[in-house]
């Protein structure tokens, strides 16, 4: 299964924004699984067996996001992904490494991300995850944790800290771009809707007011001075279509021998 197949998991039967949101969640899950696997290689080289076991479990948890999307449990998939992500950051900061690595700064990317992927009506989920991420950030920043599982040099900690800050800003930039894209798409859809409404209003206005109609042949004169059959005029200015028949008066006048309506009455 390729990356495209992973990103499209759970999108069958969806349209529009729903497809984009599910693909975005799958993309985030793919990134977290990939990064987690990279750290697994590092733990193996460092012979940190506790970290290896924990990282393997976290990778499986990230992968469950695809299963939830496949089952069309989209809200649960989003909530699960962010909960696993925050738990992962907490363990990395408090037990595997230290806060000197700056991993807890990734918490600051949670609030804008949840507002991007969750629906507008899921206000409770967005506020809950945002508050939890901010709370965990301050816990990791202020609290003094016991000896870490893996000791890193000051240089490595500094590199990881700077990379976390850089990755945080890249993530925020990505979120801003996605927000801008959604706003632009909504504005385009709104402009198209306004144009459609204006066109519909113009068609309605064309049939309002006084229509010049011939007293004998019943042709209608348009605004350019041309005389049109009433059927053609109405079909061109509305969505109505005509099917022709014969009224009782015309049947008696033009087809007296057929008795079209008299025979029906007799029956």
Contacts of 160 by beta carbon, 8 Å cutoff, 6+ apart: 97, 100, 101, 102, 103, 152
Is residue 203, in this structure, part of any structural domain at all?
A: no
- End of a domain among 175, 191, 222? 175
CB 207 within 8 A of CB 222: no
Is residue 69, in this structure, part of any structural domain at all?
A: yes
Question: At how many degrees (to 10) do helices 110-117 and 74-91 cross?
Answer: 170
Predicted confidence at residue 148, as pLDDT, reads: 83
Is residue 12, in this structure, part of any structural domain at all?
A: yes
Whether residues 86 and 151 fall in one domain: yes
- Residues 84, 61: Cα–Cα separation, whole Å: 7
Count the Cβ atoms, other than its own, within 10 Å of residue 71.
11
Block residue for tokens 């890249």:
170
Predicted confidence at residue 265, as pLDDT, reads: 47
Per-run averaged pLDDT (10 residues), the chain, 267 residues: 82 83 89 87 84 90 94 93 94 89 89 86 91 94 84 84 81 79 80 83 65 83 84 76 80 77 51
Whether residues 128 and 68 fall in one domain: yes
Domain count, the chain: 2
Compute φ and ψ for 73, nearest 5 degrees.
Answer: -100, 70
Whether residues 52 and 171 fall in one domain: yes
DSSP string, 142-164: HPPP---SS---HHHHHHHHHHH
Is residue 63, in this structure, part of any structural domain at all?
A: yes
**Which pair of tokens denotes residue 74?**
């989209």
Beta bridge partners of 220: 213, 228
Is residue 204, in this structure, part of any structural domain at all?
A: no
Whether residues 264 and 153 fall in one domain: no
- Residues 237, 43: Cα–Cα separation, whole Å: 73
* 3-state SS, residue 115: helix
Compute φ and ψ for 220, nearest 5 degrees.
Answer: -110, 135
Of 117, 68, 111, 61, the closest CA to residue 91 belongs to 61
Pairing type for strands 227-228 and 220-221 reads: antiparallel
Whether residues 7 and 121 fall in one domain: yes
Contacts of 55 by beta carbon, 8 Å cutoff, 6+ apart: 36, 39, 40, 43
Compute φ and ψ for 118, nearest 5 degrees.
Answer: -85, 150
Predicted confidence at residue 12, as pLDDT, reads: 87
The pTM assigned to this predicted structure is 0.67
Whether residues 221 and 165 fall in one domain: no
Whether residues 154 and 262 fall in one domain: no
Domain extent, residue 227, equals 212-267
Is residue 170, in this structure, part of any structural domain at all?
A: yes
Is residue 82, in this structure, part of any structural domain at all?
A: yes
Beta bridge partners of 213: 220
Burial bucket for residue 261 (CB in 10 Å: 0-12, 13-18, 19+): middle
Whether residues 132 and 249 fall in one domain: no
Beta bridge partners of 221: 227
- End of a domain among 175, 195, 228? 175
Whether residues 218 and 167 fall in one domain: no
Whether residues 219 and 141 fall in one domain: no
Is residue 180, in this structure, part of any structural domain at all?
A: no
DSSP state letter for 212? P
> CA-CA distances (angstroms) from residue 257 to 59, 203, 253?
89, 43, 10
């Amino acid at each position: 299964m390729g990356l495209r197949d992973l990103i499209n998991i759970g999108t069958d039967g969806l349209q529009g924004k729903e497809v984009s949101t599910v693909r975005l969640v799958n993309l985030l899950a793919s990134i977290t699984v990939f990064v987690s696997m990279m750290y697994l290689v590092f733990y193996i080289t460092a012979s940190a067996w506790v970290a290896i076991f924990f990282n393997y479990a976290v990778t499986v948890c990230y992968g469950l996001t695809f299963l939830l999307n496949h089952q069309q449990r989209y809200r649960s998939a989003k909530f699960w992904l962010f909960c696993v992500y925050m738990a992962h950051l907490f363990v990395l900061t408090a037990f595997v490494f230290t806060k000197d690595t700056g991993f807890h700064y990734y918490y600051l990317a949670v609030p804008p991300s949840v507002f991007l992927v969750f629906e507008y009506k899921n206000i409770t989920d967005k506020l809950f995850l945002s508050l939890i991420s901010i709370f965990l950030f301050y816990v990791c920043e202020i609290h003094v944790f016991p000896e870490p599982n893996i000791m890193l040099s000051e240089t490595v900690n500094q590199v990881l800290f700077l990379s976390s800050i850089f990755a945080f800003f890249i993530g925020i930039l990505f979120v801003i771009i996605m927000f801008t894209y959604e706003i632009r798409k909504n504005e385009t859809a709104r402009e198209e809707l306004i144009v459609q409404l204006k066109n519909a209003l113009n068609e309605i206005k064309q049939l309002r007011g006084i229509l010049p109609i011939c007293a004998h042949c019943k042709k209608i004169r348009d605004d350019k001075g041309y005389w049109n059959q009433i059927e053609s005029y109405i079909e061109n200015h509305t969505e109505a279509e005509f099917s022709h028949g014969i009224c009782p008066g015309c049947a008696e006048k033009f087809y007296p021998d057929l008795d079209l309506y008299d025979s029906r009455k007799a029956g």
